[in-house]
Structure 1
Amino acid sequence: MTAPTPPDASLAADIDACCRLTGEFVLRSGQVANEYFDKYLFEAQPDLLERVAAQMVDLLPEGTELLGGLEMGGIPIATMVSAKTGLPALFVRKKAKEYGTMKLAEGPDVAGKRVTLIEDVITTGGAVRNATVALREFGATVETVVCAIDRSPADVNPLADVGLEVRPVLTKADLDAVSVR
């Protein structure tokens, strides 16, 4: 593996400026915070989405056969990375559909394929962990997740328990370093 490239401070500053909101926000945990990071704001901006996807291309492990975009935030990023690389995309739901094809993963068959997961933001890795376990049960080889932002504590791999390598474009520290709070 080549040495990691340094984070793009310009990209970090642009994403931080676009996505860091202040006010009163109820978090998933039920706690109230005066700051919130709205990741969908950068995904809705074609220029920012393209810049993130371009950096993800270099983070893809050799031998990747499918890009598994996780519902919902990983899907637009995986689509953009797919367009840049020519690799097919797979769209992974949080829960299998209860109608039609009843699939958890929409797209090509994963059995025997090396799937690199694509996610927008990882904090605890819950959705990524669930997708990894499910895709492995379907016969996929899943060893790496490439994410736009890793918000987990520095030097902690929240997905070590499922043997998944996390390759972020940016980390929480990168965003905090450019924040003009």
Structure 2
Amino acid sequence: MDDATLARDIDSCCRLTGEFTLRSGQVSHEYFDKYLFESQPALLGRVADQMVELLPEGTELLGGLELGGIPIVTALSFRTGLPALFVRKSAKEYGTCKLAEGPEVSGRRVTLVEDVITTGGAVRDATRALRAAGAVVGTVVCAIDRSPEAENPLVDVELDVRAVLTKAQLDAVRS
């Protein structure tokens, strides 16, 4: 399988047109509804397969961000044998009061897993919170990077962004 085939399949499954307000507050005339591919086992598996090659050496834990990163990190964990963390938007206020459900993060190399990155707001927040808990976070792997081409929206938190697909690759299948 090559990226062009995956890009075409994701695009045909997930690209919606209309007017959509993104998490960043930006308004877009198109939206990639990642839940449409995440809910399809075969397509989700293909994305996870592509992510395996993007993981940095030395990764000890995979941190999936609530909510879209959770199905992807589960599939990726299954394929790699690496333990998964389920990273909340904020620590729960009851029970264990954890931000990241799963193994202890302190002193461990965590690679974050996200579905779609545009400005990186959720990833930035999770990176700061995990680092405050002692995790070593240097990379995020995402299914789709919608940020402007050749720009790293997470350079301010010194995070390497590795994407299965970029907006440019998805746009190329439409031309």
Q: Any idea what the Cα deviations from partners look like across 1:93-116, whole Å, max 9, x if unmatched?
A: 001101111110000000010000
Return the match for 1:20 from 4, 15, 20: 15
**Which amino acid is the alignment partner of residue 125 of structure 2?**
N
Return the TM-score normalized by structure 1: 0.91
Q: CA deviation at 1:159?
A: 0.3
Asked if 2 retains the 8 angstrom alpha-carbon contact of 1:68 and 1:115, the reply is yes
Please give the per-residue CA displacement for 1:99-149, whole angstroms capped at 9, x wherever unaligned.
Answer: 111110000000010000000000000000000011011111000000001
Segments of structure 1 that go 5 or more residues without pairing to the other structure are 1-6
Please give the root-mean-square deviation of Cα atoms over the aligned residues, in Å: 1.4
Q: 1:113 aligns with which of 104, 108, 117?
A: 108
**Equivalent residue in structure 2 for 1:48, among 31, 40, 43:** 43
**Aligned partner (choices 121, 124, 135) of residue 119 of structure 2:** 124
Percent identity over the alignment is: 75
- Which amino acid counterpart does residue 176 of structure 1 have in structure 2? D
1:35 deviates by 2.6
Distance 2:47 2:80 in 1: 14
Q: Does 1:36 align with 2:42?
A: no
Equivalent position SS for 2:75: helix
- Measure the CA separation in 2 of the matches of 1:138 and 1:70: 16
Distance 1:113 1:26 in 2: 36
Name structure 2 gaps, 5 residues minimum.
none
Contact 1:91 1:107 in 2 (8 A): yes
Q: Which amino acid aligns with 1:165?
A: D
Query: How many angstroms apart in 2 are the aligned matches of 1:53 and 1:46?
Result: 10
Say whether residues 1:168 and 2:163 are aligned partners.
yes
CA shift digits 1:128-177 (9 cap, x unpaired)? 00000110111110000000010000010000000000000000000000
User: Which residue matches 1:8?
Assistant: 3
State the aligned residue count.
173
The residue type paired with residue 168 of structure 2 is: A
Runs of 4+ more than 6 Å apart: none
Distance apart, 1:39 and its partner CA: 1.2
For the residues of structure 2 that align with 1:77 and 1:37, how far apart are their CA atoms? 15
SS of aligned partner of 1:132: helix
User: 1:14-59: CA deviations, max 9, x gaps?
Assistant: 000000112344444274x543221111111111100000000000
What whole-Å deviation, never above 9, does each CA across 1:55-75 have from its counterpart, x for those lacking one? Answer: 000000000000000000001
Compared CA separation, residues 146 and 65, structure 1 to 2 (3 A) = same
Distance 1:90 1:27, change over 3 A: closer
